[in-house]
Structure formats: structure tokens, C-alpha cells
Structure 1
Amino acid sequence: MSKIKTRGRVKKYRAAIIGAGRIGSGFDNSRTAAVATHAHAFKNNPRVELVGFFDIQPEKARAAAKKWSVLAYKNLNDLLADKPDLISICTPDADHYPTLLKVLSSKPRLIICEKPLTANIRQARLVAEKIVKMNIPILVNYSRRFDSTIQKCRLDIKKKKYGKVISAVGVYNKGLLHTGSHLIDFARYLFGDVLDCQALNAIFDYHRNDPSVGGWLKLEDCPSLNLVVGDSRYYEIFEMDILLEKARLRFTNFGSVLAVQKIAKDKSYPEFSVLGRPKETAVKLNRAAVGLAGNAVNFLDKKVDLLCAGQDALKTQIVCGDLLKGLKNK
């Protein structure tokens, strides 16, 4: 379905959602300022028509359908038979792989999948091979790629506005795949591909098959990034601290604030350079889904590339797999 005007109106892309839980439907509603779900992102975009939900728990699909004034499909085959242009996969991590295989067989225009791509690297490689062979694009929701403040920060780093990156520290918890993959993809987005990695320790604070792994990464534009892990049984955390030649960049408050400190002269000892007062900018992660839907529409209009294609997600998952493998070898 292309951008065709019908009776003076631009034709919309039809979208359906598999999984009517929190990220699919539950985190917000049509009246909230935050756009934190796939449903709200689609409803918010004038080029998308949300047509319905499917969930293995029918009552969830019916509740989401009522909430967003759309259909509740009785089964996945009914959803696929309706031939939506866009299909969002918002199921639990372990269900991504079988759901992706089923959806790929229907050959939609675009699949949007929550992170991680699959629950393990073997499945991720198989999916990546299939999408290349079948020529079906997948957009993976590593949400920080869709925020304008982070996009500008990335350009500043690439253009060396603050000089070269000296080192960085990333702090997270609640599982390497579940949350750590967000941090690794964030680092890859800012600094380029991972050239080397090493696992150092682990905390089993989320799932027995998904520990939070501490370690070290070397990336194209960051010679040293230390991964520090906390314990989500006490509180959740997600931060990035970047030291450059001319400034310090800190993503704090679960990555919702960017604080920039530029070099200044020490008032008491002017021969020394120190960091000045931080200038803070909001990172609107609670509206990143707007960018997700916008990127999907612009891609289907053949205007832009996907900000996080299946191969991007696979690279992130390979790093996670290497860290887990390194942990087992310790």
C-alpha cells in the first residue's frame, strides 16, 4: 500500500498488534500526554489505522480492543488473513520467535518487534536469515534510537563536537537480554559496532536464563565502556556516563535526562580545567513510540531507512550472546 490520495485523502497503512499487554496497550491511553504503547503510537499517527489486537488470553484482546475502539481477533490466523500492512509483536520475549515465524509466513509490508528480537542467539540468527531470504523488513523497538535528543547527541559525537570519546560507563539491571540489550544497543547507536567484549560478573536478579551481566566493551568510537550491574530486586536503574575530551555527557534518571558539562576554569585554581555546571535536556522516552511509528510510515513511503532493522538487533544480540558465553567460561 503506497501513499495514494483517495478523494483528497492520503491512504493509511493498516496496523494490527499481537500481544495486548503493557507495551501493546496497557501503559497509556488516548488521553495521556505520554505515548508509551504501540496502540497509542498508531492511533497518534494520521497515516496509520489501527485495526485490531490478538492475544492468547482472549479477555486481554477484548479489553484492549474496547479501549482503543478496534477489533479483537479470535485467533492469529484471523489477524493475518486480514492482511495488515504493519504487524507489531508485543508478546513476552520467549514468544517472539514462534510469533515471528508465523507472521513472516503471511508476508506483511513491515513487522515491528519489541526487543530483544528473540530469546536466544540461535533463534535470532534464524530469524535474520529468513528476513533476508524473504525480503521482509523488521523494525525492532530499541526505543532510544527514536528520540530526537539522543539522535542529536549521536550526531554531536560523530562530528566530534566535544572531541573524542575517552571512556564510558553504563549502569543497568533486570537482565542482560531484557534491559542490558537496550544499553548495548544504545552504545552501538552512539559509538558504532562492538569490536571486543568481556564478561566480568553476573547478578541473577531477573530470570535464571537472563542474568544481569557486568563487563567491558570496546566499540569503534569508544575505546572502553564498562558495564556495571545493579540488582533490580531493590530498584531499577539505567544510566550512561560518557567522558570526552571537551565535555562529560550523562544520561540519568533511567535515561530520561541528558546532562552536559563542558570544560571550565576552576575559580580557585584557574590553572586547572574542571567541568562546569550541567545543562540538562529532557529525553522524552515516554514519547519515543511516536518516532517508532513515524519511522515505520516513512520507511513504507520509501523516504528513510529503518532506524533499527533486524540486522541491527541481531548485532546487539550477538554481543549479549558473547557476554553470556564468556560468563559460562569463567
Structure 2
Amino acid sequence: MLRGGLIGCGFFAANHLHAWADVPGAEIVALADRNPARLAEAQARFGIGRTYTDAAGMLRAERLDFVDIATTVASHRPLVELAAGAGVHVICQKPFAPSLADARSMVAAADAAGRVLMVHENFRWQSAIRAAAAKLAAGAIGAPFWGRVSFRSGFDVYSGQPYLATDPRFIVQDLGIHILDVARFLFGDVVRLSATTRRVNPRIRGEDVATGLLVHDSGVTSVVDCSYATRRAREAFPETLLEIDGADGTLRLDAGYRLTIENSSRSPRARRVSAAAALGRAAVAQHPRERARDPAPLRRLPRQRPHAGNVRRRQPRDPRPRRSRLCLGRCRRRERRPARARLISTRPALCRPAGGDRPRSSGRWHGRALMSRGGDS
């Protein structure tokens, strides 16, 4: 059994601890955080007996195989170098480092100690992204030549992480890192990149919209776009959407995580399948939204008839709602009632999605996605 220590008991620590509890062959045996209140809360919630207010003290007192660093970016380099010097393997939260020089120093410290250094990147382990990658690897659309990886939302991320509104750099280092990693996962490393950024929300300091054009070593050209300023009738958070064109067809991962594959060389029909079904239901830990919408494992679009002119056309459906004789009077009484105004919120917010405040996402799911497949924020 591998013994690990968690450094940092802040916003994302619960996700990490939930995930480690589900990983066979590893356990978190100690916690470290400079804030005694957060430390006590995590200890009580997860039943971890040994706690420290100093990471160096934890490394000296415990016999650890690895540490999980879940702190903010400014502390990453000293903590990674401290853990590598203690001879333990390191998993470090993203963003990995504030500068390229710091990142290279962290890698050099781990190499000198002969220890593994990993970065938390969990989007590539989501079931929908893995399903799309599996289809590409199987040649479902032939050799891909163009792709788009998109994350556009108006979700209020500032309420849970208020520092995001004050950082001089925002969406690229917070969300864009994930989207860029998905593009690398699907198409290979990047050899050329250009990008534009923009701040739309006047109440924040950094950029909240970014669009990049990438050329990969595989020859694929991709567009990576992310936004926390997009207002949509249907909020897509936290879904990453895909469009990929190949030599023989197209692949689309649409809202609701619906995976659609069209292959002209194999069949004139499009195959539409949920992302979970493409991988197998038992093999993945799905988001609650994905479980709720998961249909039958495979559905095919209906074949168009060759002689449509000989087919009797259906009459257009009456748009008015159908009423039975029993409910007719009751429905008419409802129609006469004046419509009630709905109060969404009177609280000031840095960002409010259209349609009101969105429920908090499940920390347990995010944590399981983080660690169950080998690899937030």
C-alpha cells in the first residue's frame, strides 16, 4: 500500500481526498496546511489521523511514498523541490509553475532525485474525451486533419474561487490549460501556436476569453477556444465539446456529451451514441448529468427512403396543447391566472449565468475523475 500526504486543504482538497479513497493500493495518511481551521475540517471529514501545519515537518515525521500538492501556483516550486529533496514522488496541482524557468527547475529537482513528477490534468480522463479518443484511434473517421476543442460557459466560478477575479492572468492558466491538454491528448504535441485573449467582464482583472490556433506534430490543425463570458440558454458547464474532421468522416461531441460519428466510407448513416456507451458503462465514472441523460447504448438515425415522393406525408401536428374532457375546465382556469414574476437573485455577483445561480457541481465526481484513471482545478 502506497502512503501519501496531501499538502493543501483548500478549495480542491476534497476532490483529491474523495479520489484517493477510491484508488486501490494507495491512501492518504497525513495532511498539511498552514490554516488550522481548514486542516481540522479536512481531518474530521475524511478521518485522517495525522495533521501538520508545516509541509517540511510532515515530510520529516512521516514515511511517505508520494505527496499530492494541492496549493496555489506561487508555492509549487518550493514544495516540489522540498518533496524531491525528501525522496518522495510528487503530484503537483496545475497551473504547474508561474514561469518557464520555475517549471524547468522543478523538473530538474525531480530528475536529480530520481523521482516521478506529475501534473494534475484531469480533463483528458473524462469518459467523454476518452470515448472520442478511442474512436479516433480505431480509425472511425480516418486520419484527422482538423479539430476544435471548446469550453464556453457563463458559470460563476468567482464565488467559490474569488482570487480568480483578482489575478492578472485568468482563463488561460485556469481553464485554458485543460483545453490545451485535451488538444495535445487528441492530436499530439504542438509545434506552432498563435492566440488572442480578451477581457469581457469589467469586474475582473484578467482575461476571460481566449482563442488559439494550433499546429500539431501529427499535421492536424486545431482551434482551442475557452470562455467564461458566454451566455447560453442551456448552460454547458462543465462540458468540453469537440469537432473533428477526418479523411473519411467527422466526429462531434455535442452538448449533453452526445458523440456523433459520420463515416462516408463505411455507411451513409450517422451513428449517434452517448460517450459513456462508447466506452462501456462499467468502465467509467460518469458525471451525474451524463448518467441522467445516457440513452440506450447505441441508436442509429433512420434510413431515408429512396422514393420519398411515394410516401404519404404526415399532417402537421397541432401546436396547441391537447386536453382531455376531464381536464378541460381545470386547464382553462389555470390559463386565467396571472403569471407570477420569478425572482432570480438580488445578491451582487461578479458573474451570473443566464437563468439564475447554478447548483454547485459534485466534488466527489470531479475527484474521482481526477485520480481514478491515473491523473484540479
Question: Are the counterparts in 1 of residues 249 and 264 from structure 2 also a CA contact under 8 Å?
Answer: no
Distance in 1 between the 2:78 and 2:206 partners? 18
Q: Structure 1's 231 and 48: CA in aligned 2 closer, same or farther, altered over 3 A?
A: closer
Question: Are the counterparts in 2 of residues 213 and 229 from structure 1 also a CA contact under 8 Å?
Answer: yes
Q: Structure 1's 258 and 136: CA in aligned 2 closer, same or farther, altered over 3 A?
A: farther
Q: Select which of 37, 58, 61 maps to 1:79.
A: 58
Does the alignment pair 1:150 with 2:141?
Answer: no
Alpha-carbon deviations, 1:109-142, whole Å to 9, x = none? x211122211232211221222222221112221
Q: Select which of 207, 220, 224 maps to 1:227.
A: 224
Q: Select which of 247, 250, 260 maps to 1:248.
A: 250
Q: Select which of 218, 238, 241 maps to 1:239.
A: 241
Distance in 2 between the 1:73 and 1:132 partners? 27
Q: Select which of 133, 145, 148 maps to 1:166.
A: 145
For 1:215, the aligned partner's letter is G
Q: Structure 1's 228 and 145: CA in aligned 2 closer, same or farther, altered over 3 A?
A: closer
2:96 aligned counterpart, secondary structure: coil
Q: Structure 1's 128 and 202: CA in aligned 2 closer, same or farther, altered over 3 A?
A: farther
2:270 corresponds to which residue? 276
Q: Structure 1's 250 and 19: CA in aligned 2 closer, same or farther, altered over 3 A?
A: farther
Shift in Å, 1:277: 5.9
TM-score, normalised with respect to structure 1: 0.69
TM-score, normalised with respect to structure 2: 0.61
Aligned length: 265
2:193 corresponds to which residue? 197
Q: Select which of 7, 18, 21 maps to 2:10.
A: 21
Distance in 2 between the 1:84 and 1:295 partners? 22
Shift in Å, 1:89: 0.7
1:101 corresponds to which residue? 81
What percent of counterpart residues are identical?
A: 20
Q: How does 1:115-194 map to 2 (within 5 A)?
A: 115-147=94-126, 150-172=129-151, 175-194=171-190
2:185 aligned counterpart, secondary structure: helix
Unaligned stretches of 5+ residues in structure 2: 153-169, 277-283, 288-363
Alpha-carbon deviations, 1:295-318, whole Å to 9, x = none? 66xxxxxxxxxx6xxxxxxxxxxx
Does the alignment pair 1:214 with 2:216?
Answer: no
Shift in Å, 1:59: 0.6
Rg larger in structure: 2
Instruction: Indicate the structure with greater strand content.
Output: 1
1:278 aligned counterpart, secondary structure: strand
- Farther-moved stretch of structure 1 (193-202 vs 145-154): 145-154
